[in-house]
């Protein structure tokens, strides 16, 4: 299961946004057409001069729906994975509970190749909103949107939009940064391990934010990364967890779409006989699978974010063109990303300190969004990547294919084991 293995395509298309077809898109004084298009009678038409309609009362305010909301969800995995797909299915249930009259259906374990046929099946069923919950589906969603201009489409993590196709995601790296602070406080060996899935910019960004969090409280700690090159692997995940502990890790972080690293590490001990702590991913309640050793879980909460888009469609105010990359909110019930701390394993002093950063992360704008990457930022070769009063742009974050200071790999030899700066695998497409 590859949720975002083609992220570089998204970046290419995202940076080429002016090539989108704006025909018929609503426009007014506050929402002009893109360069090369004109605003005539409240909609965009090809042409170089923008003529703003003065009477905004007659201007369409956004895109609506052709009937009551009927939504078809494409899932890349089984609903019972307690990972990525479960989080999206929880979001689907949230829609049913909060939007009167909404109808939903879903198709689990759909491949990218099968997605186009499933989209056509959804539309034949009368669905007027199609949601692809994985970047795997981006091409199918794009083609579906082009072929069915009367249907609304959403893609998760795609960062690609059109007049009837929106994109949504959350700034998970913010929650990973908080998780890093927890790990930095709890480690005794100063060696932390990550079971990493697929080397794409999204995952590298999450790793880097986590490591920045670790070293903000434990500057001499190192973080080892072992790749399994898949979103889940029932054989590789336990082995990677064991290898990390054998190398000295006393905190193991799962970035895969299962709870296997949490459950595996719960039965392990460090060389000194101490418990091995763990940190989960995808679902905020992941610690229930290892309640005595899990420290926290960074999870997704898609319901409110997707519900806001659907409600806007119902009201006729939906604006699909701006890609949504939502930052953390103070209210966990409304935030698309959050960190759930385990009160049983994390001391109160650590909980108070970590939670004190949530209002700062939730502060609207660049400072809140970029808190995990405030300068100076060095990579693990010593090169300065950010200094002074500069900030990374969203494009910088979306194309991050280099490791920050402190990310290592273990080298085994006859003389024993040693660490060296880890190298991002060449399959990561982005900036190096």
Same domain assignment for residues 147 and 284: no
**Other C-beta atoms lying within 10 Å of the C-beta of residue 13:** 18
The terminus-to-terminus CA distance of the chain in angstroms comes to: 25
43 band by pLDDT with thresholds 50, 70 and 90: low
Mean pLDDT of 35-51: 60
Same domain assignment for residues 160 and 198: no
What are the helix (H) ranges across 126-255? 138-147, 172-186, 201-217, 236-246
In a domain? residue 317: yes
The structure tokens listed for 158 are 């795609």
Same domain assignment for residues 352 and 385: yes
Residue after which a domain boundary falls, among 291, 326, 361: 326
In a domain? residue 46: no
Q: What is the pTM of this model?
A: 0.86
Same domain assignment for residues 99 and 182: no
Q: Model confidence over 394-416: pLDDT tens digits?
A: 999 999 999 999 999 999 888 88
Residue 48: its pLDDT value, please?
A: 54
Distance between CA atoms of residues 120 and 116, nearest Å: 6
In a domain? residue 2: no
- What burial letters (b/e) apply to 274-302, b meaning 16+ CB within 10 Å? eebbbbbbbbbebbebbeebbbbbbbbbb
Closest CA to 290 of 298, 281, 280, 299: 280
In a domain? residue 57: no
82 band by pLDDT with thresholds 50, 70 and 90: confident
Same domain assignment for residues 312 and 350: no
Mean pLDDT of 270-288: 98
In a domain? residue 51: no
Segment (H or E) for 37: strand 37-40
Q: How many domains is the chain partitioned into structurally?
A: 2
Same domain assignment for residues 262 and 322: no
Q: Model confidence over 361-373: pLDDT tens digits?
A: 999 999 999 999 9
In a domain? residue 260: yes
Same domain assignment for residues 214 and 157: no
Q: Residue 243's domain is classified under what CATH number?
A: 3.40.50.2300
Least confident among 7-11, 170-174, 402-406: 7-11
Same domain assignment for residues 156 and 286: no
Bridge partner residues of 418 (DSSP): 411
Same domain assignment for residues 157 and 184: no
Residue 12: domain span: 7-19+63-170+302-326
Same domain assignment for residues 277 and 354: yes
50 band by pLDDT with thresholds 50, 70 and 90: very low
Same domain assignment for residues 409 and 362: yes
**Other C-beta atoms lying within 10 Å of the C-beta of residue 60:** 16
Mean pLDDT of 20-37: 49
In a domain? residue 37: no
pLDDT of 26 higher than 70: no
- Helix, strand, or coil (residue 241): helix
Residue 81: its pLDDT value, please?
A: 77
23 band by pLDDT with thresholds 50, 70 and 90: low
Same domain assignment for residues 282 and 316: no
Residue 158: its pLDDT value, please?
A: 84
In a domain? residue 334: no
pLDDT of 27 higher than 60: no
């Amino acid at each position: 299961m590859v949720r975002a293995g083609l992220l570089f395509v998204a970046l290419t298309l995202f940076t080429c946004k002016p090539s989108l077809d704006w025909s018929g898109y609503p426009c007014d004084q506050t929402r002009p057409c893109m360069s090369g298009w004109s605003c005539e009678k409240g909609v965009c038409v090809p042409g170089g001069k923008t003529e703003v309609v003065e009477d905004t009362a007659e201007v369409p305010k956004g895109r609506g729906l052709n009937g009551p909301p009927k939504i078809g969800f494409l899932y890349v995995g089984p609903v019972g994975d307690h990972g990525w797909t479960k989080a999206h299915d929880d979001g689907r249930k949230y829609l049913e509970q909060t939007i009167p009259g909404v109808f939903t259906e879903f198709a689990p374990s759909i491949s990218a190749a099968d997605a186009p046929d499933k989209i056509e099946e959804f539309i034949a069923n009368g669905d007027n909103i199609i949601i692809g919950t994985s970047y795997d589906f981006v091409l199918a969603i794009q083609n579906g949107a082009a072929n069915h201009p009367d249907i609304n489409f959403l893609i998760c993590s795609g960062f690609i939009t059109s007049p009837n196709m929106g994109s949504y995601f959350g700034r998970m790296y913010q929650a990973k940064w908080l998780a890093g602070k927890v790990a930095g406080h709890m480690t005794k060996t100063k060696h932390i391990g990550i079971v990493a899935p697929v080397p794409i910019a999204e995952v590298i960004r999450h790793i880097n934010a986590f490591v920045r969090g670790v070293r903000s409280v434990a500057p001499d700690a190192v973080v080892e990364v072992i790749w399994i090159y898949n979103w889940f692997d029932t054989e590789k995940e336990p082995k990677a967890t064991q290898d990390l502990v054998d190398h000295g890790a006393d905190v193991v972080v799962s970035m895969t779409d299962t709870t296997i690293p949490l459950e595996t590490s719960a039965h392990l001990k460090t060389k000194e006989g101490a418990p091995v702590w763990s940190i989960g991913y995808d679902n905020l309640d992941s610690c229930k699978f290892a309640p005595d050793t899990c420290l926290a879980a960074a999870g997704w909460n898609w319901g409110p974010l997707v519900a806001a888009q659907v409600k806007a469609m119902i009201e006729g105010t939906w604006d699909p063109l701006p890609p949504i990359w939502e930052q953390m909110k103070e209210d966990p019930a409304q935030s698309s990303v959050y960190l759930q701390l385990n009160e049983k394993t994390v001391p109160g002093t650590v909980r108070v300190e970590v939670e004190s950063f949530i209002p700062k992360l939730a502060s609207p704008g660049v400072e809140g969004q970029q808190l995990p990457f405030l300068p100076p930022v060095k990579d693990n070769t010593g090169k300065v990547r950010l200094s002074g009063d500069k900030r990374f742009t969203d494009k910088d974050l979306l194309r991050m294919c280099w490791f920050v200071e402190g990310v290592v790999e273990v080298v085994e030899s006859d003389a024993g084991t040693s660490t060296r700066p880890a190298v991002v695998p060449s399959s990561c497409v982005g900036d190096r």
